[in-house]
Structure 1
């Protein structure tokens, strides 16, 4: 995962085989030892002034909170806390009940990942204010995830209910507006070059194969979504700066 403002890189850790607190410790140590001094290695400045690496943990809920607590709490049997390998670990929240499992596991924050509004509790815009409130109560970082749209029926024909039309950029802007209203410290954009899922924001021109017609942005320019990303990034930056000057000032 890449920081939009700086071009720095953080790591999105997938649920590899037998992922647990033991091999997570080993893998985090390896990543920090190998890349920690690189200028493109992202670090997040916390309220205490520390600049810590950040790891997004995809499908974190498939590992028990007790195992995560061994790694992510100071009293854990394999604790990474207050060590040279301490970091911010961001859990994926899919269902409402995951909030308390994430707390018990010792995570530092939550993200919602999916680009489909309404697909999960976490990815539903209407729940973001409640999730932000919960995170504020327990000193967690709330990271809503937005996307430009979603369509994967070329590979999952049965999944039409989760298609979200781009509406010439309106879907993306609605998601970004909802994210800003929650006043988060970070917003993540779920986008990758998996064009069969229709989440790309890169420049796009018409493309057809024997099996698939890929989405493009006509009648708009190929750079439409990069321009929208820039527009909303600047808006977010300005409103964060204003909020930092006056914490009582609402973002909208």
Structure 2
């Protein structure tokens, strides 16, 4: 019946994320809004076990997505649109499996000019730091450092002690991911100043020998913001984490908190995660649907009308335009600060 089990409805209608025409339009939108890096959910190499929660293998979409991104790069005549991976926790994900994943990714996708070897690792805390160190520390027995499988590895900071665990594991930085404020320690705005400061301190460490943690590689802070959160259509039991959008107010509070913390980058959760109500992609105004339920044992389907939510003022591009404004604001602010204090290591 056209129900997408989400609080909003896409302005472009129901679409496939494997449609090159749709992808090109989406990349144009993101590029025009100042988004330069797009992280794709990746659930591992092709196998019966490597699929998302809906049983969909994400790997076979990557060539289509990367090709569409490259077309937009050529069309724009610019090289500031990149694609990277959001490594998801598929069953059986181990250090050895991840090393094999990296070999597969580099073999199949490194030749795309749009590919950038930055790897966001979701639920990285499921693997202990001492195991991550075997892969990400220079001295680890399965280390990828200074090999063709090297890259920037950004782990999830969820709970209070995860920052140090990421450093110990050899990660290059952290991100917070969640768009529901206060869902976790990492998504609590009051903690962002201290978290970003922690990252800056780690980047200044100069350890020696096998104790070297970060040194000259630095330790990046990536704070994640979102427009709101509402996954009640797919997780009715999670209502307590719903965060109304309040027009632009909710997102602006997160962006202002991130600006004050001075991270290395800001990520947006999300561009098109419609099921969790975190999307900034254009939404249709006044779209109706019918919710149905069977009455007893009869074959009569009772339906009731439901109107999808819409962005404030009925502007489908409200959030993409807001991202563009903030991108220009932060870019100009950073350029001005760099001119004034070029040698200050703590600059945003």
Question: TM-score w.r.t. structure 1 length?
Answer: 0.89
* Alpha-carbon displacement from aligned partner over 1:31-57 (angstroms, at most 9, x marks no partner): 122222312112xxxxxxxxxx21000
Query: How far apart are the structure 2 equivalents of 1:70 and 1:244?
Result: 37
User: Which runs of 5 or more residues in structure 1 are unaligned?
Assistant: 43-52
Q: Which residue among 134, 139, 149 is the counterpart of 2:228?
A: 149
Query: How far apart are the structure 1 equivalents of 2:311 and 2:289?
Result: 17
Whether the aligned pair in 1 keeps the contact of 2:227 and 2:245 (CA below 8 Å) is yes
2:157 is equivalent to residue 96 of structure 1: no
2:110 is equivalent to residue 36 of structure 1: yes
Query: How far apart are the structure 2 equivalents of 1:57 and 1:159?
Result: 24
1:90 match: secondary structure:
strand
Name the counterpart of 1:25: 99
Whether the aligned pair in 1 keeps the contact of 2:338 and 2:347 (CA below 8 Å) is no
Whether the aligned pair in 1 keeps the contact of 2:312 and 2:318 (CA below 8 Å) is no
Query: For residues 160-179 of structure 1, what are the structure 2 equivalents within 5 Å?
Result: 160-179=239-258
Whether the aligned pair in 1 keeps the contact of 2:157 and 2:163 (CA below 8 Å) is yes
Query: How far apart are the structure 2 equivalents of 1:218 and 1:133?
Result: 35
User: Which runs of 5 or more residues in structure 2 are unaligned?
Assistant: 1-26, 37-79, 204-218, 292-305
Root mean square deviation, CA, Å: 2.1
Q: Count matched residues.
A: 242
Whether the aligned pair in 2 keeps the contact of 1:198 and 1:215 (CA below 8 Å) is no
- In our comparison, the structure showing a higher alpha carbon Rg is 2
Query: How far apart are the structure 1 equivalents of 2:202 and 2:112?
Result: 32
Q: Which residue among 263, 279, 282 is the counterpart of 1:203?
A: 282
CA pair 95-250 structure 1, distance change in 2 beyond 3 A = closer
Whether the aligned pair in 2 keeps the contact of 1:89 and 1:107 (CA below 8 Å) is yes
CA pair 156-121 structure 1, distance change in 2 beyond 3 A = same
Question: TM-score w.r.t. structure 2 length?
Answer: 0.66
Name the counterpart of 2:331: 237
Higher RCO (C-alpha under 8 Å, 6+ residues apart) = 2
